[in-house]
């Protein structure tokens, strides 16, 4: 893999402040928290060009796709049921190998996707055809204004170099009354797990915490969506994936893993209801916002 040596300093993506504190140190840069708007982000980090190049060129085992399909299918099917009343043209940003869009296509949606990873792009175009699967960032495509009924991002927003800029462009190309659905890792959960697990737990479970370029929670995801002028914002605990596609839990079989996940999911839903959705402790959150 290409070696990246040069790191760049970045400002907070929401408020542009440089007043921040280090939360944890990583192999590349630190996770910091903006002292003004509380956004988490990686700083310093790779340049935008190097970040895109890293994702475009990264390779994976062929067995990863079936594992991801199995682990995410319930999330995708549940998501499509919630989006049913908006049915029309849908854009999935970071569409991976096109599995979600294929499910949407089978339910009558007109599908479009964006995927910059060469590994996943080839598989997405094989599933969906070349015409509506694009291999460049959103703003380079220049879609017409008010074009899409729904735009989705599944575990993508925190990996973008400019999430606020992406959301502003998304609002432009959404129809009035259109819906944005975003699933993203819950930074509140990730930090809690990081403090509990450190690097490993008895050599059996690797820390499941993951830090990309940005970290979102119930508070700052609302802040960035409001900054992009979205309305009717709803943030909920997201269902968990099934199985263990990334091999984090080495000892137990899928049945045991899924049982633990279901128990935690019900617990997170209970806590969410108890706190009127102010405390969301699922590993990921899902956000719905409209263009009004």
**pLDDT (tens digit, 9 = 90+) per residue, 250-281?**
545 555 667 878 888 888 989 988 988 888 98
Instruction: Provide CB contacts within 8 A for 67, sequence distance 6+.
Output: 243, 245
pLDDT band of 249, cuts 50, 70, 90: low
Taking residue 106's Cβ as centre, other Cβ atoms within 10 Å add up to 10
Evaluate whether 54 touches 84 at the Cβ level (below 8 Å).
Answer: no
- What is residue 207's predicted lDDT score, i.e. its pLDDT? 55
- What is residue 286's predicted lDDT score, i.e. its pLDDT? 97
Evaluate whether 97 touches 123 at the Cβ level (below 8 Å).
Answer: yes
Helix (H) or strand (E) run with residue 21 in it:
strand 20-25
Give me the residue spans of the domains in the chain: 64-290
101-125 average pLDDT score = 97
- What is residue 291's predicted lDDT score, i.e. its pLDDT? 97
Least reliable range by pLDDT among 15-24, 35-44, 190-199: 190-199
- What is residue 251's predicted lDDT score, i.e. its pLDDT? 47
pTM score of the predicted model: 0.90
- What is residue 29's predicted lDDT score, i.e. its pLDDT? 83
Residue 245 has pLDDT above 90, yes or no: no
Evaluate whether 152 touches 90 at the Cβ level (below 8 Å).
Answer: yes
- What is residue 254's predicted lDDT score, i.e. its pLDDT? 55
Evaluate whether 158 touches 214 at the Cβ level (below 8 Å).
Answer: yes
Question: Which of the two residues, 62 and 245, has the higher pLDDT score?
Answer: 62
Residue 2 has pLDDT above 80, yes or no: no
Class of domain 64-290: alpha beta
Taking residue 74's Cβ as centre, other Cβ atoms within 10 Å add up to 13
205-232 average pLDDT score = 88
Name the average pLDDT for the chain. 89
């Amino acid at each position: 893999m290409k070696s990246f040596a040069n790191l760049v300093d970045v400002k907070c993506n929401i408020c542009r402040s440089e007043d921040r504190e280090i939360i944890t140190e990583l192999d590349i840069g630190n996770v910091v928290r903006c002292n003004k708007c509380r956004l988490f982000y990686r700083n310093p980090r790779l340049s935008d060009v190097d970040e895109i190049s890293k994702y475009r060129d990264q390779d994976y085992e062929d067995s990863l796709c079936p594992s991801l399909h199995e682990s995410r299918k319930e999330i995708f099917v549940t998501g499509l049921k919630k989006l049913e009343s908006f049915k029309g043209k849908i854009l999935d940003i970071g569409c991976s190998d096109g599995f979600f869009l294929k499910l949407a296509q089978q339910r009558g949606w007109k599908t479009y996707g964006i995927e910059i990873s060469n590994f996943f792009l080839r598989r997405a175009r094989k599933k969906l055809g070349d015409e509506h699967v694009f291999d460049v960032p959103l703003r380079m495509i220049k879609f017409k204004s008010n074009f899409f009924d729904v735009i989705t991002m599944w575990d993508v927003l925190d990996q973008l170099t400019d999430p606020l800029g992406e959301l502003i462009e998304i609002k432009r190309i959404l129809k009035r009354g259109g819906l944005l659905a975003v699933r993203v890792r819950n930074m509140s959960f990730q930090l809690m797990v990081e403090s509990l697990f450190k690097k490993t737990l008895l050599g059996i479970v690797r820390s499941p915490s993951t830090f990309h370029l940005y970290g979102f929670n119930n508070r700052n995801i609302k802040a960035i969506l409001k900054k992009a002028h979205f309305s009717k914002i709803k943030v909920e605990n997201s269902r968990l994936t099934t199985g263990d596609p990334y091999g984090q839990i080495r000892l137990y079989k899928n049945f045991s893993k899924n049982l633990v996940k279901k128990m935690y999911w019900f617990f997170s839903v209970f806590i969410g209801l108890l706190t009127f959705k102010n405390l969301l402790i699922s590993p990921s959150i899902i956000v719905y916002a409209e263009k009004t």
